[in-house]
Amino acid sequence: MKKNWASFEYPTEIIFGNGRVCELKKRLQDLGVSRPLVVTDSGLRNTEAFRLTSAALGESLMDSEWFLFAGVHSNPIEQDVKDAAEVFRSKQCDGIVALGGGSALDVGKAARLLIADPSLELADFDYRLPWESPVPSVAIPTTAGTGSELGRSSVITLPNSHRKALLFHPHLMPDLVIADPELTRGLPPKLTAATGVDALTHCIESFTSPVFHPFCDGIALEGIHLIVEALPRACRDGGDLEARGMMLTAASMGGIAFHKDLGATHSLAHPLSALCGLHHGTANALCLSHVMAFNAERKPGTYRRVGISCGLDLHRDSDVDADHKTIEFITGFLTEIGLTEGLRAYGVKESDIEALSQQAVEDSCHLTNPVPVSIDDLKALYRKAL
> Please, which residues bridge with residue 195 across strands?
none
Low-confidence ranges of the chain (pLDDT < 70): 1-10, 59-64, 161
Helix (H, G, I), strand (E, B) or coil at 368: helix
Q: Looking at residue 193, what is its pLDDT?
A: 96
The answer to whether the CB of 248 falls within 8 A of the CB of 141 is: yes
pTM of the model: 0.89
CA 257 – CA 198 distance, rounded (Å):
13
CA 190 – CA 173 distance, rounded (Å):
28
CA 66 – CA 244 distance, rounded (Å):
28
The answer to whether the CB of 277 falls within 8 A of the CB of 77 is: no
Looking only at the bridges linking them, the beta strands covering 137-141 and 95-100 are parallel
The answer to whether the CB of 133 falls within 8 A of the CB of 102 is: no
Q: Looking at residue 160, what is its pLDDT?
A: 72
The DSSP letter of residue 339 is -
The answer to whether the CB of 375 falls within 8 A of the CB of 357 is: yes
CA 216 – CA 331 distance, rounded (Å):
24
> Please, which residues bridge with residue 99 across strands?
140
Distances (CA, A) of 76 to 72, 264, 329: 6, 22, 33
List the domains of the chain with CATH numbers: 2-184 (3.40.50.1970), 189-385 (1.20.1090.10)
Q: Looking at residue 2, what is its pLDDT?
A: 47
The answer to whether the CB of 179 falls within 8 A of the CB of 255 is: no
The answer to whether the CB of 136 falls within 8 A of the CB of 35 is: no
Q: Looking at residue 1, what is its pLDDT?
A: 39
CA 34 – CA 17 distance, rounded (Å):
24
Q: Side chain identity at 140, as an amino acid letter? A: I
**208 HSE (CA, 13 A, CB side):** 33
Q: Shortest CA distance to 102 belongs to which of 19, 169, 18, 202?
A: 202
C-alpha 356: how far from chain center: 20
CA 276 – CA 279 distance, rounded (Å):
9
Looking only at the bridges linking them, the beta strands covering 164-168 and 153-157 are antiparallel
CA 141 – CA 98 distance, rounded (Å):
8
CA 51 – CA 183 distance, rounded (Å):
10
